[in-house]
Amino acid sequence: MQYCGMQVEGMPATVINYINELKCSYEQKIKELIVYQHKYLEIKERYDLLLWKRFGRSAEQLVDESQQLLFNEKAEITETVETRENGNPTNEELSEVKSYTRKKPGRKALDPNLPRNETVIDIPESEKTCACGAKLSRIGEETSEKLHIIPQQIYVEKIVRPKYACPCCEGTETEDICPTVRIAPVPPVMIPKSITSPGLLSTIFTQKFEMHLPYYRQEKQFKMIGAEISRQDMSNWQQKVYEKLEPLFKLLLETVKSGPVMQMDETTVQVICEEDRKDTQKSYMWLARGGPPDKKVIWYEYHPTRAAYNAKKFLEGYSGFLQTDGYKGYDTAIEGNSDIIHVGCFAHARRKFFEAAKVNENSISANEGIKYIRLLYEIENKLRDYLEKSNDMEKFLVDRKVQAKPVLDKFKAWLDKRASDAPPSILLGSAINYSLAQWNKMIAYLESPYLTPDNNACENAIRPFVLGRKNWLFCQSVGGVESSCGIYTLIETAKQNGLVPFKYLMTLFEKAPLAVSKEDWEKLLPWNIFTA
């Protein structure tokens, strides 16, 4: 009898036991080596990912030229999968690539709606006569344009209210019955007994919440043009405007829950001077995008935590599709709620595959995952173009299912096959496991023409807040962050409905003081204010 190539018959038991111990030790070392290799790969990937996030391009585009060709044609995904499985790709999945027209280089023309002053630079009269004595005729002209900017200007509106009195009744017994002094009432304004005007308030709020200019910087700007307005005054005005517009915010909240689809997201915010919380603790700004297709609302809401309870409370009374990222708090929030269908986000899955591809440029598997998702987006974009022209929702829904389902089936089979090969601790394994865990929610977008494969519209809506946060860093109080939510809601909702935020706010601040009934406030909603 031989053992590991050695003759063991007649070999002492102690030697055989020693050999067995060596074998077990060897096998154990091999297992430990595999664990350490996986751990090393995990740490290296994290390090490379941090370097890329710090110094690399943020756009989700692979820079390897040899890989770029994989993403330009639908045929590539077919070729990769079909060649592996059947040996030959099918012609049914091939498609044309959209043509691209390069823009003509040169300076973009100035807006023709801008006011223009014409300046004529002519030759002297003495030069308008030819050497032969004939008078020169004008045969044309050359024109050019220069853009001028007048620095921000301010003026003071002095409001005069004449007072009238009866010279006969003054000082007599009839003065108590018939007051002798009469004066016109003060017109209703957003903030009584203040220097504010609709234009001033609109400027202050759009500067901070759209252009991300904190109040302390605006304070310096106002001082440069001769106006002493403190940052505390601006903060107080923000709070008073928010309280004045409470009926309008109630209508916006009703509208955001009235549509067939709602998207939600959240991000951090730091609030100091909050009761029973440290100044360094993270709080959260929640965002919802919803409403009817022609009345989109972006709703901002502050909560001290990221607890699922906040989402559950907000979603009370809502029925329809809810599209979010993979945060488990949303699953908890709608658990047992049959009125809400949870929809996932392919953009988050794609991002994880992209990160895996960036830290390991030779990762063919990560690139294949990206190709599947890219093909789904090509199908979506093509059908969306058709929908804009035909407005046929039913045909769009049927065509999308027919064209996307084969790709989804192959993508799912690929994920199942690769799940056992890639450890979940590395980026590729994390991307695969995320996609599998979110699969049923991600493919739910096929059920409604108002849904897209991702939650990007909601993430784009929260980006202005994130950009502003980099400048003003924190909120001073809970009241301040709540009123900021209100102003952000007004500005971003106006943009969603194709309005210029400054013009909308200025018109709103002019008309809101006159609003009394619910019908009056409904006329001030972004989709009604310029048609009322």
Domain membership of residue 176 (yes or no) is no
User: Per-residue pLDDT tens for 79-110?
Assistant: 444 444 444 444 444 445 555 566 666 678 88
Q: Is residue 305, in this structure, part of any structural domain at all? A: yes
CA nearest neighbour of 161 among 140, 185, 144: 185
N-to-C CA span, the chain: 100
Residue in 284, 272, 259 with CA at minimum distance from that of residue 451 = 259
Q: What is the pLDDT of residue 101?
A: 66
Phi, psi (degrees; rounded to nearest 5) at 164:
-125, 145
Reduce the DSSP state of residue 264 to 3 states and report it. strand
In angstroms, what CA-CA distances link 280 with 268, 277, 300, 473, 475?
Answer: 12, 8, 22, 12, 12
Greatest Cα pair distance in the chain: 142
Q: Is residue 439 part of a domain?
A: yes
SS (HEC) of 321-363: EEECCCCHHHHHHCCCCCCEEEECCHHHHHHHHHHHHHHCCCC
Distance CA 285, CA 305 (A): 9
Q: Over 70: is that where the pLDDT of 168 sits?
A: yes
Rounded Cα distance, 214 and 231, in Å: 9
Least confident of 27-41, 178-192, 259-273, 422-436: 27-41
In this structure, the strands spanning 340-343 and 320-323 are parallel
Q: How far apart are CA 454 and CA 444, in angstroms?
A: 11
Amino acid occupying residue 57 = R
CA distance 241 to 249: 11
The answer to whether 300 touches 465, Cβ cutoff 8 Å, is: yes
pLDDT digits (tens, 9 = 90+) for 370-402: 899 999 999 999 999 988 888 888 999 999 999
Domain boundaries, position 317: 293-474
**435, 427 Cβ separation under 8 angstroms:** no
Cβ atoms < 10 Å from Cβ of 178? 9
Q: Is residue 219 part of a domain?
A: no
Give the span between the Cα atoms of 309 and 329, in whole angstroms. Answer: 8
Q: Strand pairing partners for 437?
A: none
455 within some domain: yes
Total tally of structural domains belonging to the chain: 1
Using CA atoms, how far apart are residues 283 and 298, in angstroms rounded to an integer? Answer: 20
Strand-pairing partners, residue 78, are none
Please tell me what DSSP assigns to residue 273.
S
What does the alpha-carbon distance between residue 282 and residue 279 come to, in Å, rounded to a whole number?
8
Taking residue 481's Cβ as centre, other Cβ atoms within 10 Å add up to 20
Residue 323 domain-assigned? yes
Q: Looking at mean pLDDT, say which of 26-30, 60-64, 476-480, 493-497 comes out highest.
A: 493-497
What three-state secondary structure class fits 297? Answer: strand
> Residue 422 — very low, low, confident or very high, per pLDDT cuts 50/70/90?
confident
- Kindly report whether the global pTM for this prediction surpasses the value 0.85: no
The mean predicted confidence, pLDDT, of the chain is 83
What pLDDT, on the 0 to 100 scale, is given for residue 65?
42
Q: What percent of the chain has pLDDT over 90?
A: 44
pLDDT tier at 72, thresholds 50, 70, 90: very low
**Structural domain contains residue 507:** no
For residue 396, give the amino acid letter.
Answer: F
What pLDDT is recorded for position 185?
A: 86
Residue-wise pLDDT for 32-57, tens only, equals 777 777 777 777 777 767 776 676 66
345 inside domain? yes
Tokens (6 digits) for 315: 């979603």
Alpha helices in 131-279 (DSSP H): 198-209, 215-224, 231-244, 246-256
Query: 219 or 38: which carries more pLDDT confidence?
Result: 219
